[in-house]
Amino acid sequence: MKVLRMLANMTIRSKLFGCLAVLSLALLLLSGLLLTLSGKEKQALGAILNDRLVPLNQLNKVSGAYAVLIVDTAHKARSGALSPAAALANLNSARGDIRTSWDAYVQSEMTAEEAANVAEAKKRMAAADEATARLVDIIRRRDGAALDRFVTAELYPAIDPLTEQIARLMQIQIDVGQSLARDESRTATLFQVIGVIVALLSAAAAAGAGLVIARAVLAPLDRLVTTVQRLAQGAQDVEVPGCDKGDEVGALAKAVVGIRELGVARAAADARIAAEQTHVTTSLAASLRAVSNGDLTAIVTADFPAEYEALKRDFNSAILSLQQLLGAVMASTATIRSASTEIAQASEDLSRRTEGSAASIEQTSVAVSLIDKRIRATSTAANHTVANAGSTSRTVEEGRRIADDAVAAMGRVSESAQGIDSVIEGLDKIAFQTRVLAMNAAVEAGRAGEAGRGFAVVADLVSALAMRAEEEAKRARDQLSATQADIETAVAAVERVDGALQSIASGVAQVNSLLGTIAEDNAAQASTIGEITGAMTGMDQMTQQNAAMVEQTSAAARGLSNEALLLAEQAGRFRISNDNSPTPGGRVDRHQGTLVSA
């Protein structure tokens, strides 16, 4: 609950920044994992290539040079298929290739088992090199008998132990490479699972951020819009939600409460004024009905509000004056009586309008001033919020750019894997060529008959080893394809996170649009307030004109009063006191209000 209260009091900008901070942290974590995975993959693939595949190729060259080139050259020199010069050239080339490949191999990283086998191979290589040196000397001396003895008795005992030891070294390379590939596969699987978990957590965080924005911003704004619409329709008992919030929604809710209270106060004031006016008009109407029936004693005795006391006094004074004067006026001509009545009614109406207009203008001026201040404050807050929403959109775009960088980095890793695939393809071709050479050697051994039987066995071993190398190259290519598939899965996860960020950016744009609409509504209300102010100015001018008309009417009434004094002697009977005695000289028709001669 404490956390919910703290979130309720946070500003909209703080809520948006908080959500973006959580998403950015998740994105950075995912990017870090992907970069770590790509680095591990690159390092492991480099280790397999440099420490296992390349040494395997070097050992294959050494074994091929001994088992194929040297042995094949010896047999061909013995059979006369090669001249001594060509045989010596082949042997020197083979010895150079052996030395180059072997020196490069012993510089690579080795396990303890591999180092022990290398030491044994060096001993056997020394014996093989010594035998090769004797073969070179025999061919150089062109001693056919010695060459026959060497090929049949010394060649294979010197070469076979070395090729067997090299085969063990090659098997060690294959076993270690497979072990590294399995370890790397497990590591890649672990990182893939972690990446998927982080991606799911990021998606959950994005959904939570959208829910927070919807519940903390959009839902309160929708409720406020509904409340304002009900207030605009005239409802005064509306409960304004969100007043307890400490963010911009709370400030807007408090402003709506102020408008509601202002409307309630205005309605109460209007009701009070209407009740007072009803009471005044009822009392005046009763007195006026009595006066219209000829009863000039019907003065107003009811209590009037303070604003209408002057009207009451004026009315009663007018009745008293009429008691003294209207007898003569009523006895005068019909035109004078009609004019006097209309003037009196106009004076009363103008007086009431003047008083009512003055009070209404004063109250309306105060109300309009308060509304104008509220609307300006709300417009300023809405403009600030629009600017903050724009900053939030830019932050989301920055997060999407980071995701694009992560995808590009994984693309580079995929390209590196394709380069390794080409290396494996080259090794596959070398293995195929080695098998072809072994087949050729087997054919030559068959031609040599009994003397070439041992060489045929070696050729079969080399062919089997070449087939094994092809199989391992295929397995390495399959492992590399699986790694590329894992990288593509990680790229898809990052793209889904980028889609979630795009959804958040769309939600922020909707909030920005809604706030812009609120700002436009505030501007329209400010324009309306200006029009109301102009109308109030016109009302004030009308009030001044009414005051002038009252003055003119008063002057006309004084003129008529002078004329009534002249006609007082002609007044007929008229009730002007409570003794019901008629005025001498005539009587009054109660229905017509006219003076009848006696």
**Residues counted in the chain:** 598
One DSSP character per residue, 325-339 reads HHHHHHHS-HHHHHH
pLDDT band at 166 (very low <50, low <70, confident <90, very high): confident
Q: Which of 10-24, 368-382, 390-404, 408-422 has the lowest mean pLDDT?
A: 10-24
Which backbone phi and psi does 428 adopt, to 5 degrees? Answer: -60, -40
Return the higher-pLDDT residue of 321 and 249: 321
Distance CA 20, CA 34 (A): 21
Q: Choose among 408, 180, 388, 367: nearest CA to 270.
A: 367
Per-residue confidence (pLDDT) for residue 591, from 0 to 100: 38
Is 437 a domain residue? no
Per-residue confidence (pLDDT) for residue 137, from 0 to 100: 92
Distance CA 243, CA 179 (A): 67
Residues 6+ apart with CB under 8 A from 547: 354
- Under 8 Å between Cβ of 505 and 397: yes
Per-residue confidence (pLDDT) for residue 594, from 0 to 100: 39
Is 208 a domain residue? no
Task: Give percent above pLDDT 70 in the chain.
Answer: 77
Per-residue confidence (pLDDT) for residue 4, from 0 to 100: 53
Domain of residue 363 covers 14-199+248-413+476-598
Residue with tokens 């009586």: 337
First to last CA, the chain: 95
pLDDT band at 595 (very low <50, low <70, confident <90, very high): very low
> What's the pLDDT tens digit per position in 527-541?
787 777 777 677 767
Return the higher-pLDDT residue of 157 and 502: 157
Cβ burial 296-323 (10 Å sphere, 16+ → b, else e) = bbbbbeeebeeebeebbeebeebbeebb
Per-residue confidence (pLDDT) for residue 48, from 0 to 100: 61
Per-residue confidence (pLDDT) for residue 140, from 0 to 100: 92
Distance CA 71, CA 75 (A): 6
Is 461 a domain residue? no
Distance CA 421, CA 424 (A): 5
Distance CA 67, CA 466 (A): 13
- Under 8 Å between Cβ of 94 and 62: no
If one counts the domains in the chain, the total is 1
Is 72 a domain residue? yes
Per-residue confidence (pLDDT) for residue 586, from 0 to 100: 44
> What's the pLDDT tens digit per position in 290-300?
777 777 677 88
Per-residue confidence (pLDDT) for residue 425, from 0 to 100: 77
Instruction: Provide mean pLDDT across the span 7-25.
Output: 68
Is 98 a domain residue? yes
Distance CA 183, CA 48 (A): 11
Is 470 a domain residue? no
| Residue 333: half-sphere exposure toward Cβ, Cα within 13 Å | 5
Residues 6+ apart with CB under 8 A from 538: none
pLDDT band at 486 (very low <50, low <70, confident <90, very high): confident
Distance CA 431, CA 556 (A): 131
pLDDT band at 596 (very low <50, low <70, confident <90, very high): very low
Which backbone phi and psi does 494 adopt, to 5 degrees? Answer: -65, -40
Is 574 a domain residue? yes
Flag whether pLDDT at 167 surpasses 70: yes
Distance CA 285, CA 287 (A): 5
Is 308 a domain residue? yes
